[in-house]
Structure 1
Amino acid sequence: MTHPTKSRRVLVTGGASGLGAAFVAEFLKRGDRVLIGDLQPPVDPALVAGAEQVRLDVTSDEDWASALAWVEEEWGGLDVLVNNAGIAAGGRIDVIGIDEWQRVIDINLLGVVRGCRTFVPMMKQQGSGHIVNTASLAGLVHPPVMASYTAVKAGVVALSETLSYELGPYGINVSAVCPGFVRTPLASSLGGSDAVADKIAARLIARSPYTADQIATAVMAGIDKKMMVIVPDRAARIAVRTKRLMRPLYDRQQRAFGARVFAMTEGKA
């Protein structure tokens, strides 16, 4: 696949660290102009050197309006919107509170919705654009003890598919990115009321064989191909195929995981 030769105008939310920063670095390597939307300064300034930054809380309509104003004034348009900002979350249904559900919905789902609502009118006027929404393997495969996360990430996948069909006639592509566990600082956003679930999630993130750089490179290939759903790592692709083609095996795996959590939480491990 040939890389785009024209310098693109790109906004990456959550681009100051983790997978977002890896996305920023990949776009910069291609000669694109990149704007980071984040609440924090870059963790590794050298990695994203050359990118601009605006303060962006993805739950804030005012911050989105400011980001739009910056893009209009500085660039006059936007070619790629990467809705990447998010938090890790999870927990047993009877342990975590509605406030925790609301937080992950506000950031991981409505943050994406706000980004799309903000920049779709501009892209429609241009007659072009690409929206890339970071979902997760959890949007396609739904393990136990992760209800808030899987529900929200499945929502991001569904939103992306709907918008792909809705916005296609305007020349706008939409992709959902669905990686498995990646070694990033995402675990630092854990801190819910279900300590057992947080411990499991942190361990899975830490043990991932994939780095953010590896995932970002694979995602860029999917963006080049304008794929609607990008599953960038082999482990995630195997999990998706198992669910689709070997459902009894998939069910046994997830029930076994649920049984291990039950043993841990009920003191039988």
Structure 2
Amino acid sequence: MKDLAGRIAVITGGGTGMGRELARQLVAEGCSIAMCDVSAAAMAETKRLCEAERLPQGLRITTHLADVSNEDDVKRFAAEVARDHDTDKIHLLFNNAGIGGGGSMIVHERSEWERTFNICWFGVYYCTRAFLPMMLKADRGHIVNTSSVNGFWASIGPMVPHTAYSAAKFAVKGFSEALQTDLNMNAPHIKCSVVMPGHIGTSIVTNSRKIQAGHESPDFTPKELAQMRARVASMGVDVSKLTDQDIGKLAHERARRFLEDAPTTAAEAATIILDGVKAERWRILVGKDAEKIDRMVRDAPERAYDTDFFQTLAKEVGWKLGAN
């Protein structure tokens, strides 16, 4: 699908980050967009940015409030796309929505763990189920599932548990690989790609916190502060002399560094993804760090979770220790 003009693309998590940049670049190529997110304000800004350039006649951009971890929301989203785009088919499905959190099975609450897992995994599954009938009716289709380097390396450091997100991203990668044979046999006009980004400059840390906490305020609740204090302590840090204000500053600084210190921007990531889709590559590594991590884990899988492995990896890929 080298020419995207006149196609219809569905993007989950289109309000910020890679979802927003995918929308902008797809619109620039003449593709109509239907995006969902849990933030109406974020989607409105994405739509405004997309419409800042003169749109081709007939191109549509629609926004839809939906929580992809809720199957009823996803089914409603699919019905709204059919209605608002006056169609029974779509051509591109970008299962992009995701959040972090719930890193530990021990320290973190079950609800937080499952919230992360359900968005990152079931969001992909539910949306694929919901939109597959519309893709089967199209002349060509492409499913693009966002996994992560954490879909083949379940770590962001030797002292930081990362179980919920990694488990979900491993599931997305396995699902996408299994779809290669399924689609080849039963729907050969539909392709599937698995996207595995490294460290991309997005607001996922801030957005994840808002979704997990259930509010938009930049101020942390006492419960959030207690949870963050426990997480910092679990990393071997003496928190006895840290005030709540200190803990809050650490959290805000982590979010800032994740966004600003990333080696790859969200716009650059979107370009790499779309280039991979046009080339019909089923495996799309995003960022030089992702490429290096892939090579290093393949070369020494038995050492992948050792402290010295992470230190060597961080130096090779140019990560700033502590940024994660």
Same fold (TM over 0.5): yes
Give 3-state SS (helix, strand or coil) of 2:197's partner: coil
Residue-by-residue CA offset, 1:34-64 (whole Å, 9 max, x unaligned): 1111222324543222621122221222322
Is 1:148 matched up with 2:164? yes
* Equivalent residues of 2:102, 2:114 under 8 A apart: no
Partner of 1:187: 205
Partner of 2:27: 28
2:138 partner letter: Q
* Equivalent residues of 1:71, 1:77 under 8 A apart: no
TM-score by length of 1: 0.85
In structure 1, runs of 5+ residues without a counterpart are 258-269
Q: CA deviation at 1:122?
A: 2.3
Instruction: Output the CA distance in 2 between the equivalents of 1:21 and 1:3.
Output: 21
* Equivalent residues of 1:9, 1:75 under 8 A apart: no
The correspondence for 1:178, drawn from 196, 199, 203, is 196
Give 3-state SS (helix, strand or coil) of 1:82's partner: strand
User: How is 1:1-269 mapped onto 2 (pairs within 5 angstroms)?
Assistant: 3-4=2-3, 6-41=5-40, 42=43, 43-49=45-51, 51-73=61-83, 74-126=86-138, 128-143=140-155, 144=158, 145-169=161-185, 170=187, 171-191=189-209, 193=227, 195-196=231-232, 199=251, 202=255, 203-247=257-301, 250-253=304-307
Q: Do the aligned partners of residues 217 and 256 (structure 1) sit closer, same or farther apart at CA in structure 2, a change above 3 Å counting?
A: closer
In structure 2, runs of 5+ residues without a counterpart are 52-59, 213-226, 236-249, 312-324
Instruction: Output the CA distance in 1 between the equivalents of 2:272 and 2:134.
Output: 28
Between the two proteins, the alignment pairs up a number of residues equal to 256
> How many percent identity over aligned positions?
27
Give 3-state SS (helix, strand or coil) of 1:63's partner: helix
Higher-Rg member (1/2) = 2
1:176 partner letter: V
Q: CA deviation at 1:109?
A: 0.5
Instruction: Output the CA distance in 2 between the equivalents of 1:250 and 1:30.
Output: 40
Give 3-state SS (helix, strand or coil) of 1:178's partner: strand
Q: Do the aligned partners of residues 241 and 90 (structure 1) sit closer, same or farther apart at CA in structure 2, a change above 3 Å counting?
A: farther
1:238 partner letter: K
Q: CA deviation at 1:146?
A: 0.7
Bigger mean CA offset, 64-73 vs 23-32:
64-73
* Equivalent residues of 1:90, 1:148 under 8 A apart: yes
The two structures, once aligned, show a CA RMSD in angstroms of 2.5
Q: CA deviation at 1:66?
A: 2.2
TM-score by length of 2: 0.72
Q: Do the aligned partners of residues 248 and 163 (structure 1) sit closer, same or farther apart at CA in structure 2, a change above 3 Å counting?
A: closer
Give 3-state SS (helix, strand or coil) of 1:130's partner: strand
